[in-house]
Amino acid sequence: MADINSFTENSQIFVPSENFVSKANLNPNTYATLCKKANDDYLGFWGDLAKTYINWHRIFTQILDDSKKPFYKWFVDGSLNVSYNCLDRHLKTIPDKVAIIFEADDGASESVTYRELHKQVCKFANGLKSLGVKNGDRVIIYMPNSIEAIVAMQSCARIGAIHSVVFAGFSAHSLADRIIDARAQYLVTVDGFKRGGKVLAIKQDVDAAITILGTDSPIKNIIIQKVLDVACKIVPKFDVWWHDLVLNQSDICEPEWVLSSHPLFILYTSGSTGKPKGVEHSSAGYLLGAIITMLWVFDYKDSDCFWCTADVGWITGHTYVCYGPLALGATQVIFSGTPLYPDASSFWRIIQRHRVSVFYTAPTAIRSLIKAGGDLPLKFDLSSLRLLGSVGEPINPEAWKWYYTLVGKEHCPIVDTWWQTETGCHMLAPIPGVSGLKPGSCCAPLPGICAGIIDENGHNVGLGGSGYLVIKKPFPMQLRTIWGDNERYKTAYYPEEISGSKHYYVAGDSAHLDSDGYFWILGRIDDVLNVSGHRIGTAEIESALVSHKAVAEAAVVGKFHEIKGESLFAFVVCKNGFFPAKENLENLKEELCTWVATQIGAIAKPDDIRFVEGLPKTRSGKIMRRILRNIANGHQITQDISTLENPAIIELLKTDI
Ligand code: WT7
């Protein structure tokens, strides 16, 4: 801990300019009032916000039902429609305001207004209804970032169907697992798309997923948007073209009014077992979280041009692409390309072209841009920017300073936002008109979020201490449960050992509180890795590896990586007779990487594979991952190895056998 202390205590503080504070949505006074209200009257605080920012069909009379802890219901008897709140409520005031500017991989751009988007959503929602999609049905969306992906999500919300977006980089196997777990009957996809100049014909992966599922497949229809006109298999009545489905549909579709806790979506994320968790979000609490964080953290104003670079396949793309900006009637940019294609200036070109004012991206993207063209931002007019954001992992101070200086020209606050798929929106983040910024710290919990850091005995760690990051009171935007697995929801987020009788939400991260009360996220406490800001469970990759015919055992750990933050290092024990000869080592490594990519997706491919004779285990058979982590990172083994069953193994782990 000596390291973290010297690091955090010497940090410079960047205070907001007077100019920024004078125009900010929250200034020190209004912020203090909010905090006081949250403190004095917790339920009233949330109830008032929900009344202010959501258009209700029927207003709620009960703010929180906590009779079945930890299954909470917020704004219990209220009813609403999220798509109504994102579209219809703007039709009278700003029908012709641009809602979405889409930038394609090749630089082509198109845009839609609120009126047009509303029509597209109504038509597609009516199309879904014509296929038989009903309130509560699950619809998988397997599409790249596009206006249509947002239309599909909003259409589901409109008719009360529950969407589950699967990132278009996941493999057919991962898609099949999610279809089965969600028991989804409908799937929306594209024939193919271009990303980073490459053509990805993903309808083929959808067909492969349906083949994998065979007679178990619950899918009744697949809807395909024609994007590239690549050849794809069409089974009449089963495969339906998007353009045929919306043809002749009315552009009016009455919203389906649902209860506050009605599931808006399921989004799969990795946990500590091999099976991803279907995080289920509510309608009202989730929407409220998206709205207030747009206002408080991004300081959103009607005049802004907002750009979050995330893909709709992740939670960031749900909250800060599909729901938050639309709920506020924002103009936003969406992008289907990558930061490095056709070169490292695509972000800066887009900011200049559309006069983006609020820009939100991930540290891994920033680091790759520094490496590929650290001075490129200087060649563009970025004067429209007024606020920058970061998400996904701690931002290292060097990247922070580059972002602040070269992109923000030292006048844009950087909001380092800590949150999770499960929390739905920002939980800890600077309030840009209030907080002094320390590079690498996500500052403090937002008003109403009772976050704390506790030790093994459940006590607050106090200034200078480190421990488990918890949220002590239920909050409206938290996940409602894990789809189909209430038990796992309880054990994953309310584990007895940490959560105790107080019912603290346990985030799975450890954190440090510095002497000024700033929070610093230290990393995960479970076997979950963070590669390029994406969460990947080691168990998932291990189970993919051992499903290969040559593999007996595998253990995956994180290795420090300059750009990705962490990379994947796999120790593999082969079955007898499958250990490769020296000249075939590389071939088998290559084969295993391809195997993992087909089992999960390219993002889960190990960066390093080492073939070993055995894994370091305790006498009770538990793999000692800390040892593997040290070896992967080339560190000395300092921990006690007396509990190891076979201490001699350590030397053998340092090279391939
Ligand atoms: C995990 C959540 C939140 C959307 C993207 C990732 C890590 C996230 C930060 C940050 C330090 C961060 C945590 C968290 N994380 N943001 N600003 N500083 N760590 O969502 O896949 O659900 O992952 O990402 O470890 O638990 P996710």
Per-residue pLDDT tens for 574-610?
Answer: 999 999 999 999 999 999 999 999 999 999 999 999 9
What is the mean predicted confidence (pLDDT) over 55-69? 98
- pLDDT for position 1: 42
Residue nearest to atom 1 of ligand 1 (CA): 420
Helix axes 203-213, 172-182, angle to 10 degrees: 60
The residue type found at 292 is I
Residue nearest to atom 6 of ligand 1 (CA): 392
Alpha helices (H) along 227-323: 242-246, 284-296, 315-317
| Whether residue 574 has its Cβ less than 6 Å from ligand 1 | no
Q: Report the atom number in ligand 1 closest to the C-alpha of 310.
A: 5
Q: How far is the CA of 420 from the centre of ligand 1 (A)?
A: 5
Q: How far is the CA of 564 from the centre of ligand 1 (A)?
A: 14
Burial 35-62 (b: 16+ CB within 10 A, else e): eebbeeebeebbbebbeebbebeeebee
| Whether residue 394 has its Cβ less than 6 Å from ligand 1 | yes
Is the pLDDT at 265 greater than 90? The verdict is: yes
The residue type found at 434 is V
| Whether residue 121 has its Cβ less than 6 Å from ligand 1 | no
Helix (H) or strand (E) holding 217: none
Is the pLDDT at 640 greater than 90? The verdict is: no
> What residues pair up with 24 in beta bridges, in sequence order?
none
Model confidence band, residue 139 (pLDDT cutoffs 50, 70, 90): very high
For the ranges 59-63, 292-296, 525-529, the lowest mean pLDDT is seen at 525-529
| Whether residue 510 has its Cβ less than 6 Å from ligand 1 | no
Using the 8-state DSSP alphabet, how is residue 113 labeled?
Answer: E
Q: Report the atom number in ligand 1 closest to the C-alpha of 508.
A: 26
| Whether residue 361 has its Cβ less than 6 Å from ligand 1 | no
| Whether residue 508 has its Cβ less than 6 Å from ligand 1 | yes
Residue nearest to atom 18 of ligand 1 (CA): 394
Q: Select from 268, 310, 308, 261 the least CA-distant residue to 286.
A: 261
Domains of the chain plus CATH, in order, are 41-337 (3.40.50.12780), 451-524 (2.30.38.10), 532-652 (3.30.300.30)
| Whether residue 426 has its Cβ less than 6 Å from ligand 1 | no
| Whether residue 540 has its Cβ less than 6 Å from ligand 1 | no
| Whether residue 309 has its Cβ less than 6 Å from ligand 1 | no
- pLDDT for position 3: 62
| Whether residue 396 has its Cβ less than 6 Å from ligand 1 | no
Q: How many residues does the chain have?
A: 657
Pocket residue to mutate for ligand 1, from 280, 297, 391, most atoms within 8 A of Cβ? 391
Q: How far is the CA of 533 from the centre of ligand 1 (A)?
A: 7
Is the pLDDT at 305 greater than 60? The verdict is: yes
Q: Report the atom number in ligand 1 closest to the C-alpha of 390.
A: 17
What is the mean predicted confidence (pLDDT) over 276-286? 97
| Whether residue 393 has its Cβ less than 6 Å from ligand 1 | yes
d(CA 497, CA 492): 11
| Whether residue 313 has its Cβ less than 6 Å from ligand 1 | no
| Whether residue 566 has its Cβ less than 6 Å from ligand 1 | no
The token pair that represents 304 in the structure block: 């802004």
d(CA 416, CA 392): 9
Alpha helices (H) along 87-141: 89-91, 114-131
| Whether residue 364 has its Cβ less than 6 Å from ligand 1 | no
pTM metric for this prediction: 0.95
Beta-carbon neighbour count of residue 75 at 10 Å? Answer: 29
| Whether residue 512 has its Cβ less than 6 Å from ligand 1 | no
Per residue in 11-51, pLDDT (tens digit) is 889 999 999 999 999 999 999 999 999 999 999 999 999 99
Model confidence band, residue 6 (pLDDT cutoffs 50, 70, 90): low
